[in-house]
Amino acid sequence: AQSVTQLDSQVPVFEEAPVELRCNYSSSVSVYLFWYVQYPNQGLQLLLKYLSGSTLVKGINGFEAEFNKSQTSFHLRKPSVHISDTAEYFCAVSQTSGSRLTFGEGTQLTVNP
């Protein structure tokens, strides 16, 4: 079994400030890790994913995440946020490619002017 914990349910920040959204996971086997973004009343869009190789993963919209195996974490970061980054962000894991995703509880990022 695997699980995902997003430590912050809400993160308010000011525009152009840096942000980090935290994600920890537990699994008895190797996993693939994902971050998705969801805008109101819409589906999910993939921001980035870690499958193997370099632990620093760069995604769309200026986001990046770092896989830390010893701490079982996959925190999402952006050096300077925009108002348009306001959305719900979900961390997710899967055991193998194409398999079911297990999602965290989500983090609502609110960027204020």
Partner 1 sequence: GAVVSQHPSRVICKSGTSVKIECRSLDFQATTMFWYRQFPKQSLMLMATSNEGSKATYEQGVEKDKFLINHASLTLSTLTVTSAHPEDSSFYICSATKGPMNTEAFFGQGTRLTVV
Binding residues for partner 1, rule: CB under 8 A, are 32, 36, 41-46, 49, 51, 90, 97-98, 100-106
Nearest distance, CB of residue 79 and partner 1, angstroms = 25
Q: What is the DSSP letter of 79?
A: S
Helices in 1-113 by DSSP H: which ranges?
A: none
Q: How far is the CB of 21 from partner 1 (least distance, A)?
A: 14
State the nearest-atom distance from the C-beta of 98 to partner 1, in Å. Answer: 4
Kindly report the CA angle at 79 between 111 and 83, in degrees rounded to 5?
Answer: 20
Which CB atom, from 28 or from 97, has the smaller least distance to partner 1?
97
Q: Whose CA is closest to 106, among 1, 3, 4?
A: 4
Return the number of the residue (58 or 100) whose C-beta is nearest partner 1.
100
DSSP per residue, 31-58? -EEEEEEE-TT--EEEEEEE-SS-SEEE
Q: Shortest Cβ distance from residue 47 to partner 1 (Å)?
A: 11
Identity of the residue, 48 or 81, whose beta carbon is nearer to partner 1 in the bound complex = 48
Nearer to partner 1, 27 or 102 (CB): 102
Q: Is the dihedral of CA 25, 27, 30, 35 positive or negative?
A: negative
